[in-house]
A and B are shown apart, each in its own frame.
Chain A
């Protein structure tokens, strides 16, 4: 317990730093917010001064920062320049789409990466090992925005198997319950909706899974190799246990410790990947939302969005840290 409290306290300076970065961002951008909001049309100096006062932009920076923190603590992440909606509510609307995509991607990556990495370690030096590691390096080197375009070209363009973009065919409609369309479509009575959702989801999931899959496979292999060299493995073999038991129970359980950490640390990579994947597939999630906000110079949205994302990444990393302590008795004692 003390270990957890200590970890959380340790994060407070970082948290403050993140708010400073988000705050500084909007002030570091060339041109002030009022000019940006006015856009091409321009604005009269009198109206400009009036708006500056109204938005509190004429006050000293430290006062503005304190107001900013005060608003955040009250759940106010600002209003979008473009849509005039609350940034937080826009985020909450779009986040399930990204979460669903990311969950499918990480599920794919673990489902393929962990067994492949284990098998590669057990059959070290075999053809399987070599091709699995070759493919993993290929995946790791992949410009995923291109990979996505390539898959669309092949499966949507030439073969016509999958739709090009979006989350679901427009002819279906049902009320969101969980925000996960895979589940919501099953809950609704719309026939064929689930299939449509799955068809839309498959290519983006593959694209987003590519790099985590490569990393997880490599990490699993090296963690497994390390475990296979341990004394208790020799003991297990000497006891005459079946090789399935040795690998699947004794080795896998110990090898999973670093792998769980690796999986947790993919969150950051998944968000970066989501920015590119969602842009290619017009996936209505937060990655595409942020890119569009940056393009439209909707900096209030960007400021709010990056703050939420950074805190989210931090929270997941904290969770992984604690989980690591829990599953690895050597750490939690310390």
Chain B
């Protein structure tokens, strides 16, 4: 009996069909496909960074300080995108920087998802005093602008890349808790949950096997947002001097060093790291929009 019903709920064939439908919805938006392509490009760059980068990110070439990109007079193929104030190759630093930004996005989005959903599901499922206490706590965190909260937390857990990542995770947590709580609340009184409860499913099973999968669509869209927001937030902390420290080629930290060159003609030092951040964040947001449209066809038409 259970065997048969389970086959109907999920089989390789059905999953493949769902995936095809999803891809159909996703690929109808050109933006989403372009976003995904750019994102995969960054992933490839990060994975093969040691092979792609002409030099290590911290080697200084004393004879080639502040050399412009190759197409400008004074540039050379030795440093295609020029060099920075202490003679490090911009291209190599940007390539290795992709590793940091993607790592930041994955870690922050992943951990915020795990902790935020766990807390939110418990809060929404149990309701009552547990819910009350958790939500008041989240309200307190939400009273502080996320970047300000992250700035404060960085000073408690310690300045540096890992501190900035931890601080950003805590600062983003309330948004996930709220979203997953609301989703669970909407689902928990539906008939299929009551049916599972009557069939004797325990609390953990009800929370994480029965209800959670039905809330996934909006949570996955939120994960992509957290991914891009994390890159922006951690690079902003790096820019303010609280994130990754020199010689780490994190793009935000590179921009902090670039501030001295804003009113000079060394445009490549200022422009390139920010352009990399913008491109990656834009790609993730484009793909995220496509995900939302694919999950929620109603929104797409409107």
Contacts and interface: CB of A to CB of B under 8 A. Distances in A.
Interface of A: 13-14, 17-18, 20-21, 25, 28-30, 134, 137-138, 140-143, 145-147, 149-150, 152-153, 156-157, 164, 222, 225-226, 229, 268-269, 271-272, 275-276, 279-280, 290-291, 294-295, 302, 306, 309-311, 313-314
Interface stretch (B13-21, B77-85, B108-116, B252-260): B252-260
A212 to B, nearest CB: 13
B148 interface: yes
Given A137-B282, A225-B302, A313 B264 contact: no
28 contacts: A14-B136, A14-B139, A14-B140, A17-B136, A18-B143, A18-B144, A134-B31, A140-B285, A141-B228, A141-B285, A143-B236, A143-B277, A143-B278, A146-B270, A146-B278, A149-B262, A150-B270, A153-B263, A153-B270, A222-B302, A268-B146, A272-B145, A272-B146, A275-B148, A309-B145, A313-B143, A313-B145, A314-B143
A306 B149 CA distance: 9
Contacts of A142: 278
B274 interface: yes
Contacts of B228: 141
B49 interface: no
Given A17-B140, A29-B155, A146 B255 contact: yes
A268 B139 CA distance: 13
A17 B282 CA distance: 36
B148 A157 contact: no
A156 B261 CA distance: 12
A150 B144 contact: no
A249 B282 CA distance: 35
Contact of A279 (B145, B240, B286): B240
A311 B262 CA distance: 36
Contact of B262 (A138, A157, A291): A157
Given A134-B31, A268-B146, A306-B144, 5 more contacts: A137-B286, A275-B151, A275-B240, A276-B239, A291-B240
Contacts of A14: 136, 139-140, 143
A281 B240 CA distance: 13
Nearest to A137: B285
Nearest to B302: A225
Contact of B145 (A25, A134, A269): A269
B43 to A, nearest CB: 18
B78 to A, nearest CB: 25
Contact of A153 (B232, B239, B262, B277): B262
A219 to B, nearest CB: 13
A13 B137 CA distance: 9
B147 interface: yes
Given A14-B136, A17-B136, A29 B240 contact: no
A143 B262 contact: no
B202 to A, nearest CB: 32
A137 B289 CA distance: 10
Contact of A28 (B156, B263, B265): B156
Contacts of B137: 17
A137 B284 CA distance: 11
B271 interface: yes
Which 6 pairs of residues, A with B, have the shortest CB-CB distance? A146-B274, A17-B140, A272-B147, A272-B145, A141-B282, A141-B281
Contacts of A18: 140, 143-144
B241 interface: yes
A280 B240 CA distance: 10
A28 B140 CA distance: 17
Nearest to A21: B140
Given A142-B278, A149-B258, A302 B139 contact: no
B152 interface: yes
Contacts of B236: 143, 145, 276
B168 interface: no
Interface string B230-244: 001001100111100
Contact of A313 (B144, B232, B252): B144
B271 A150 contact: yes
Nearest to A299: B155
A28 B148 CA distance: 16
B136 A143 contact: no
A269 to B, nearest CB: 7
A290 B273 CA distance: 26
A134 B285 CA distance: 11
A25 B263 CA distance: 38
A309 B143 CA distance: 9
B241 A153 contact: no
